Amino acid sequence: MEYQDPQPGAAQVPEPATALPVPGGGRTVISENAVAKVAGIAARSVPGVYSLGSGPSRALGAFRDAVGSSDHAAGVRAEVGETQVAVDIDLVALYGTPLHALADQIRAAVYAAVEELVGLPEPETFQPLPWDPKVARVWCICFRNREEREDPAAFLTSDCRGNLKRLQANFEEATGLHLRAGTEPEMMWLELNDDGTPAVTGKTKPYCYHIDQFSELQPIIHKVIEYGQKMGLDMIQGDHEDAPGQIELNFNFDRAEQTADNLSTFRQICKQVGREMGAFPCFMPKPFMGVSANGCHHNISLWKGDENTFMPEGEDQRKPSQIGLYSIGGVLEHLGALTAVTASTVNSYRRLWDTGFWAPVFADWGFQNRTTALRVSAPGRFEYRSVDSAVNPYLSLAALIKTMDDGINRKLDPGEPEERNIYEAMEAGKDVKKIPMTFGDALDALDEDEVVQSALPDEMFKVFRHYKRDEWERYCAQVSDWDVNEYLDVLP
């Protein structure tokens, strides 16, 4: 249907499965159910939704443009019982993808600056926050502004969430396959100092799978699960790990783009629970030495429709299908550059150097082998282990899609699975590569790997490389406590 400018104050009503215009041309389909969810939920649960910012945002303006005139306060209507309800889109609090590069004073040297970004909300993701129903969360896809001289109204390539959705769609169109993933988000719940800042002290003792330590955190766990379920997460399992205050709470696996959203939502929930419970949820990979770090293992498989293509094809249930083997080959081939994306902080590499706590440093694979970077954890999936709690899941899952696709296209053989402890295998003469052991080495590997770079297209790679190189170089330019303790009283 064609949209006409509404009368002042009027609301445009999309027909069922309406195709709406998007910036730069083209149409996007918005279902009656999606519109009804926005209007219906808001009408029932959000009496007085307000904006977190001052004034209407460009993102919401773009949504107004999609459903009606930008000159008037546009709304979405839906039938709720026998009452017709209008929701003013201007009032919805917006959670988009941050583009930190815009705040950098030297961004012009990084890439052609985006003058303004436009976030187009996805109505089906509209969700009131269970801890504050006056505020709702809605995800957006980001575009360049229509008036820009360069690529006007194009997708914003530094929008990592939009990139993952597009990469998954392109991969599925080309191969019929799509990535499904589950993550294992570990975090440490820390005490707070009197001034509200986090103390480097866990709320429990470092006793792995200990029921009493788990019980100490049960009020926090129950609240995270409660909020998670209300935000659409299928919470399935949890345990106390072996670092101070460390727990892992898992939600079910899903398509890669949904799992990335779910992990971002989970982190937001943990932060809110910390505010309520007087605790600090720490996602720093390695705040303590001598105990386990915070990992975020990715359990992954490729599906064709509802068929898991990683399932074993023969009698050996320890060995994935040929597609699965080629996928493993692709990940191993690009593991150095992948590490820059999945262990993406200076602190990440403390996890690798503090040996004896199951952090993998060798580029190999095996069935239930926790000493290798890839572990076939069950028939039909494998666990990518060189990833920690600070990971951006939109980047990591996009990079895994690209590397597995490369493995399939090039038919990369990963070799036979390693059944032995990798250290015993090396003592017996096996030649095994190490993954990068510093962030600088990982970034060097990324600079040389066009396949992994393609998972961070155009502006995304420029922004990532600039900020992460800066992070590494700022670290290298610091004099640390270790330097002082090691060298201050040296007499050469």
Give the CATH number of the domain where residue 263 resides: 3.30.590.10
Q: Is residue 10 part of a domain?
A: no
**Is the pLDDT at 62 greater than 90, yes or no?**
no
Q: Is the CB of residue 145 less than 8 Å from the CB of residue 117? A: yes
Q: Is residue 6 part of a domain?
A: no
Per DSSP bridges, beta strands 365-367 and 374-378 are: parallel
For the stretch 206-263, pLDDT in tens is 877 788 888 889 999 999 999 999 999 999 998 888 888 889 999 999 999 999 999 9
Count of other CB atoms within 10 angstroms of residue 454: 18
174 and 79 fall within a common domain: no
Residue 301: helix, strand or coil by DSSP?
A: strand
Q: Token pair of 125, please?
A: 């993701």
85 and 219 fall within a common domain: no
State pTM to two decimals: 0.80
pLDDT at 233: 96
Residue 363 identity (one-letter amino acid): A
Range of the domain at 278: 167-471
Phi/psi for 84 (5° steps) reads: -90, 125
For the stretch 65-89, pLDDT in tens is 443 333 333 333 333 333 332 333 3
- Dihedral of CA 351/355/356/360: which sign? positive
Residue from 413, 405, 407 nearest 175 by CA:
405
For the stretch 50-60, pLDDT in tens is 333 333 344 34
For the stretch 188-207, pLDDT in tens is 999 999 999 999 888 888 87
Q: Is residue 485 part of a domain?
A: no
Q: Token pair of 461, please?
A: 């790679």
410 and 287 fall within a common domain: yes
Domain end point (choices 129, 156, 183)? 156
- Pick 398 or 109 by higher pLDDT: 398
Domain end point (choices 122, 156, 190)? 156
Per DSSP bridges, beta strands 27-30 and 18-21 are: antiparallel
43 and 137 fall within a common domain: yes
Q: Which of 126-135, 210-219, 244-253, 329-338 has the lowest mean pLDDT?
A: 210-219
Q: Is residue 486 part of a domain?
A: no
Q: Is residue 161 part of a domain?
A: no
**Burial label, 93 (beta-carbon count in 10 A; 0-12, 13-18, 19+):** buried
**Is the pLDDT at 354 greater than 80, yes or no?**
yes
152 and 213 fall within a common domain: no
Q: Is residue 332 part of a domain?
A: yes
369 and 414 fall within a common domain: yes
367 and 245 fall within a common domain: yes
Q: Token pair of 17, please?
A: 């499965």
Count of other CB atoms within 10 angstroms of residue 307: 11
Q: How far apart are CA 291 and CA 242, in angstroms?
A: 7
What is the arithmetic mean of pLDDT over 413-434?
Answer: 90
Q: Is residue 3 part of a domain?
A: no
Q: Is the CB of residue 422 less than 8 Å from the CB of residue 364? A: yes
Q: How far apart are CA 99 and CA 464, in angstroms?
A: 11
Q: Which of 81-90, 109-118, 338-347 has the lowest mean pLDDT?
A: 81-90
The distance of Cα 104 from the centroid of its chain, to the nearest Å, equals 23
115 and 180 fall within a common domain: no
104 and 240 fall within a common domain: no
Residue 202: helix, strand or coil by DSSP?
A: strand
241 and 196 fall within a common domain: yes
**Is the pLDDT at 415 greater than 50, yes or no?**
yes
Q: Is residue 38 part of a domain?
A: yes
Residue from 143, 147, 140, 138 nearest 156 by CA:
143
143 and 247 fall within a common domain: no
**Is the pLDDT at 36 greater than 50, yes or no?**
no
144 and 269 fall within a common domain: no
Domains: count for the chain: 2
Domain end point (choices 156, 187, 207)? 156
What is the arithmetic mean of pLDDT over 41-47?
Answer: 40
- Pick 91 or 124 by higher pLDDT: 124
**Is the pLDDT at 479 greater than 80, yes or no?**
yes
Averaged pLDDT score across all residues of the chain: 80
Cβ density class 320-350: b for 16+ within 10 Å, e for less: bbebbbbbbbbbbbbbbbbbbbbbbbbbbbb
Q: How far apart are CA 372 and CA 421, in angstroms?
A: 8
Residue 314: helix, strand or coil by DSSP?
A: coil
